[in-house]
Each structure stands twice: as structure tokens, then as C-alpha cells.
Amino acid sequence: MEDAIELIFVPAPSVSHLVPAVQTAKLLLQRRPQLSITFLVMKMVFAPESKVNSLIDSLIADAGAADDKRLKFKLVLEDLDLDHAAALKDLDSINNYMNSGLLSEARDYCVNELITQKSRPRLAGFVIDIFYTRVMDLADEFGVPTYVFYVVGAAMLGLAFHFQSLKDQHHGTLEEFIKEDYVNIPTYLNPFPVKLLPSFVLNTTDGVLDWARQFRRAKGIIPNTFFDLEPYAFQFLSKDKTIPPIYPLGPVLNLNTPQESHNQIFKWLDDQPASSVVFLCFGSGCAFPEPQVKEIAYALERSGQRFLWALRKLPSPGSGSLAVTEYTNLEEVLPEGFLERTKSIGKVLGWAPQSAILAHPSVGGFVSHCGWNSVLESSWFGVPMATWPMIAEQQANAFQVVREIGMGVEIKIDYRTGFRDPKNNNPIVPKIVSAKEIEIGITNLMDHSTSKSIRMKAKEVKEKSRKALEEGGSCFNVVESFFENVMKNLN
């Protein structure tokens, strides 16, 4: 048997980053009995009551109670100066502050727990989130490799490398490349609309684009995707020798979401015809202002479609929290009489077990913010999408769903929240999407005669998604290649 080895995972304190990282770790542990994995996790400092903090607590408790001690969670940055952190306004300064504290604690952990204790497994490297590229310097100190866990897909990875290269070649400016309506990006088959570029390209001052330069230092990159979902992107990435080896270990999904608190919802779904319900859900961190909520309600009522709507509330102004919350009284935000008028065709709830709902046979369409985890879950269950992106890279994901993969329709593909005008740094408030626009998108999604092509594509992607995780599938083979890399880079 090979010598025991340990990888240290450093995930971001976000549900959309932490959950797939943990699922990836479990996949690796299943395949290598000599492997141990330790997570260095930190809590969400700007939302102390957030779902991610509860998740971290449960992970630590579960790991402590488990018989198999090969997966451990170490909480770091418990004494973070919250007042200092709250005073930091831009992403780059927040990231630098978090990295500094994390590096110190990670170094102490490695020295005290791994280096000085001879009985511990051999340190084989770090697997870091995209936010923590400075951990690479720590890995260099200990003479071990770093691998980047990339929570989105291969096309987006190629986009980041493409614009990082252009920025370096043109002395930090990208203006001349985003003046036209479309740009050509090597990992996308179709010309890419400039209006859908991620905010880190449109606003190059926040430093995010520079992280891609650091990715090139890694010994490998692990995107949460699979070959057959993005074949064109992998053709480019495999040819570019300046990019580290790519290990698509996906689709990595969390399919064990609890249903107990939503038994009535699933009972209602059981009574609906197959593929007749449209499910609206916008992720763990996205929500709409009240005027937009009302437009969605009007659209659902006018469409006449059966619906299940996961409705969340934006954090209160001045609360100091970034976490979305639950409405205590839905009637206060919805049009008067809406719940009564639609009670025979629809249900409104707060947090929803998304994967369990998408798995239900009565669900025939998914209105989504197009977070990458949601795209993968929709692909896994073969549910076509109506795209309504909001933040980060979601506009690019929506473009990929509609134009590259072909399993979705648009509602408002260029909708964007949380973005600041690069010229004056003022927040850009998105325009309200009208009920009519939303109704058209939902109808296009749910009319099975007009959505036949996207339903066929969704079914095809579902089959490829399942095949990737079968023995002998692409994920199975990639895991073997990844471990060959890890063992080769052991000192």
C-alpha cells in the first residue's frame, strides 16, 4: 500500500464554494484509502447568522462523530477583527485582509499538526479556492504543490485566462477589447456579448482578474465540470501549454438535501402532472427588491402555469449582513390576493431543497440565477432552464446555457446586481424586469411544443452527466490522472 498522504483544502466561506469542495474531497477519499483531507474553514464574517456558518458547524460536528477520521475540519480565523473587516469597502482589500489571517493560521497548523508530528500522513499539497492564491506562497515554503479548486466551468476558466493575458500584454487596460458588442474568446464556440462579461473583466481595478495569473503557478486546476458538457472549451485548454493540467472531476453535486421540513410541498408536487411545474429559485445568496417580486408574481399569475417559487428577502439596509433571509409575512411583499388566487396552481416558500425539487418528475422547467452549481443540477436532472443571472459570472453561465449548451431560454440574460460603474464606482441599480418579459420567458420554457429542442438537449446532457460519474466515465479516469499528478509532485 502506498504511504499515507494528506491534502489541505482551503475553501471560501460560501455555500456555493464550500459544498462542492467537500463533495470533491469525499470523491477523492472514496478512491484512495491512503488519503486524508483536512479543511481549513473560516466563517462568514459579514453574515454571522448565515447558512454557511451553520453548515460549517454541522460539518465540524459530523466529522468529529464519524468513524472514518480521514476527513477533518479545522476552524480558523475565529478571532477575526469584525470591526476592521467591516470597514473594508472593496473586494481586493477584503481579500487581502482575509488572506493575511488565513496564511498565519494555516502556517501554524502545518507546523504544529503535520511537520512536527511524525505519525501524521505526509503533506501532499494544498487545494485552494480561487480567492486564496496567496496560500501558494505558503505551499512553496513547505515545498509542496498547490492545486486550484475552480467552482465554475471550463469555459469561464478560459475566459479568465484570456482576459488576464490581454491585460498583461496591454499594460493593465482592456478598454479597446470591450468597445465592440461581441468578443471572441477561445473557450466559447459563439461570439461572446460584451454586456455579459463578468464584472471582474468590466471593472479591472478590483484585482480579481489578476488571480488567473497566479493559477498558472498551480500544478493542476480542478473545475467542477465534465468533458462532454464543455468539449469546445477543453479543446483549447488542453492545447495551451501555459495553463496547468485541467482535472474536471465533476459533476460534483450535493444530492442529499433534506426534505423533511417540506413534506407538504412534495406531497403537492406528487399531485401535479409530469413536467408541468415551473420552479423558480435564485440560489443561496440572491434575492430581489419588492417591486421586482411583484412583477414576478404578476407574470406567474398571468401565465397560468403551475409553479413553485422559492422567495427570499434581501438583507435589511444597515444590518451589516450580506445574507438573504426569509419573509415572515409573504402577503406584505406579494400583490394583494395573489396567494389566494393562485393557491390551486402554485406554492410560495422560502429556502428550498433545490436538488430534491429538480429531481421530482412533475418539475418541467427551472427559472434560475444560473449559479454554476444550479446549472450542473439542472443538467443532472435534465430540466431545461430560463436564465435570469444576477451577480459574478452568472451572465456568462446563462449565455453558455442558452447559446453554447442549448438547454435554456432567456428571461433577462444581462440583468446584473451588485455591480459598480467603472467610471465613478457608484452602484448600478438594475431596471425592473416587467411582468410581460417574465411571462414570455416562462411560457417559452413551459410550452412543450415550442421548447422541444431545449428539452431534447436537456435530456441529452442528463445522460452525459450520469455517464461521466460511472465507472470508466470521464470523472473516473480524471481522478486517476489527478492522483498520478499528486504522487509525481511529492518530494
C-alpha cell at 373: 452549481
Residue 35 β-bridge partners: 5
pLDDT at 422: 53
Task: Find the angle CA(111)-CA(116)-CA(122) to the nearest 5 degrees.
Answer: 85
Residue 123 β-bridge partners: 6
Give the burial string for 141-179 (b: 16+ CB within 10 Å, else e).
ebebbbbbbbbbbbbbbbbbbbbbebbeeeeeebeebbe
Residue type, 292: Q
- Three-state DSSP at 105 gives helix
Q: How far apart are CA 272 and CA 57, in angstroms?
A: 37
Cis peptide leading into 251, omega within 30 of 0? Answer: yes
Element (H, E) at 408: strand 408-410
Which residue in 17, 162, 360, 369 is the catalytic one? 17
Mean pLDDT by 10 residues, the chain (491 residues): 85 89 94 93 69 81 79 75 52 62 76 68 92 90 94 96 90 77 95 92 73 95 97 95 95 82 92 98 89 97 97 74 82 95 96 94 98 97 97 95 97 84 62 96 93 96 96 91 94 68
Give the burial string for 446-475 (b: 16+ CB within 10 Å, else e).
beeeebeebbebbebbbebbeebbeeebbb
Cβ neighbors of 309 (< 8 A, separation 6 or more) are 279, 280, 281, 296, 300, 346, 347, 348, 349
Q: How far apart are CA 88 and CA 319, in angstroms?
A: 16
Q: Please provide residue 462's backbone torsions phi and psi, each rounded to the nearest 5 degrees.
A: -55, -45
Q: Are 42 and 12 in contact (CB under 8 A)?
A: no
Q: How far apart are CA 363 and CA 386, in angstroms?
A: 13
Helices (H) and strands (E) in the chain, counts: 18, 14
pLDDT at 67: 72
Size of the chain, expressed as the number of residues it contains:
491
262 classed as catalytic: no
Q: How many CA atoms lie within 13 A of 437 on its CB side?
A: 13
Q: Is the pTM of this model over 0.85?
A: yes
- Three-state DSSP at 64 gives helix
Residue corresponding to grid cell 434575492: 287
Among left, alpha and beta (phi > 0; psi -120 to 50; other), residue 323 is beta
Q: How far apart are CA 279 and CA 263, in angstroms?
A: 16
Distance of CA 419 to the CA centre of its chain: 18
Q: Which DSSP category does 132 fall into? A: G
Which residue in 3, 92, 129, 262 is the catalytic one? 129
pLDDT at 61: 82
Q: How far apart are CA 150 and CA 155, in angstroms?
A: 12
Q: How far apart are CA 446 and CA 175, in angstroms?
A: 40
First to last CA, the chain: 18
Residue 71 β-bridge partners: 37
pLDDT at 423: 55
Q: Are 282 and 312 in contact (CB under 8 A)?
A: yes
17 classed as catalytic: yes
What 323-328 contacts at long range (C-beta under 8 Å, 24+ apart), as own/partner pairs, is 323/44, 323/47, 323/49, 323/50, 323/51, 323/285, 324/284, 324/285, 324/286, 324/287, 326/350, 326/351
Task: Find the angle CA(175)-CA(177)-CA(179) to the nearest 5 degrees.
Answer: 70
Q: How far apart are CA 108 and CA 124, in angstroms?
A: 17
All domains of the chain in start order, with CATH:
5-250+469-488 (3.40.50.2000), 260-466 (3.40.50.2000)
- Three-state DSSP at 123 gives strand
